[in-house]
Amino acid sequence: MDWLIIIGAILSLVGLAGLLASAFRVMKAKRENLDDAALRARVQKAMALNMGGLALSVIGLMCVILGVSLS
pLDDT score, position 34:
85
User: What single-letter amino acid sits at 14?
Assistant: V
Under a CB-based contact definition with an 8 Å cutoff, are residues 46 and 25 in contact? yes
> How would residue 61 be classed by pLDDT, with cut points 50, 70 and 90?
very high
At residue 65, the 3 state secondary structure works out as: helix
Question: What are the tens digits of pLDDT across the range 29-48?
Answer: 999 988 888 899 999 999 99
Radius of gyration of the chain from Cα atoms? 16
- Model confidence, pTM: 0.83
